[in-house]
Amino acid sequence: MTATTTATIQVDDVVVRYGEVLALDGVTLRVRPGLVTGLIGMNGSGKSTLFKTIMGMVRPDQGSVLLDGGDPAAARKRGLVGYVPQSEDVDWAFPVSVRDVVMMGRYGRQGPTRRARPADHAAVAEALERVELTGYADRQIGQLSGGQRKRAFVARGIAQDARVLLLDEPFAGVDKRSEATIVRLLRELAGDGRTVLVSTHDLHALPRLADEAALLLHRVLFHGEVSEALRPENLARAFGLDVLGGETA
């Protein structure tokens, strides 16, 4: 059972190119269990590509990724990793209910028939409760607010009992209540020993959210204490901006 296994993300010197575009240029990163790690970077810095590489959906042109010490695609297939995608990557018109989305987290345990057993229904109900969406279970997923949609995907990862959770911009377009709920949940999930990696633009939420932060600009510029990551000189390097005003030279 993966539940007792320590899962850690190990990325070594990863390069990913899309044709001429160099999305990741020698990324090395260790993400430890039991912590929330924030992944900070400007648009196009490679955050989504790094997530897809960690999940084995994008193959590095160079370098290696280990999830729980093994191949990422295999780890994903055995349900080790839960993913909360960016909103643009989801077809919100798809005719599935919130409950169906959360039940997807149980597919890995159901075999090819996908017949839900009482334990699956119980896990889905508990996950919905934890994200405060019990009353929305039968709604079509697209009928939820932005924050509720994110919470539904977090519930999918909880129902899956994923040891590694990757969240791509979970606070984009999210109301304050959902943000607070997601922050609380991620802290609880990390407290249970899970590995939680969250990309965000929301620097204000970072001290409440994360134990560590990594700054990404096609490579990891800094990884360590959140307060250190937020130092103006570090943000200036990651965002190419002088936080006191204009563009850096």
Binding site for ligand ATP (CB under 6 A): 18, 21, 23, 41, 43-49
Nearer to ligand ATP, 48 or 234 (CB): 48
Nearer to ligand ATP, 39 or 131 (CB): 39
Q: How far is the CB of 52 from ligand ATP (least distance, A)?
A: 8
Nearer to ligand ATP, 80 or 166 (CB): 166
Q: How far is the CB of 201 from ligand ATP (least distance, A)?
A: 7
CB 243 within 8 Å of CB 249:
no
Q: How far is the CB of 13 from ligand ATP (least distance, A)?
A: 17
The DSSP annotation for 82-135 comes to EEE--GGGS-TTSS-BHHHHHHHTTHHHHTTTTPPPHHHHHHHHHHHHHTT-GG
* CA distances (Å), origin 157, targets 123, 231, 235: 11, 32, 31
Nearer to ligand ATP, 88 or 138 (CB): 88
Q: How far is the CB of 74 from ligand ATP (least distance, A)?
A: 23
Which strands form 36-40's sheet, in the order they lie side by side?
81-84, 164-168, 195-200, 36-40, 212-216, 220-225
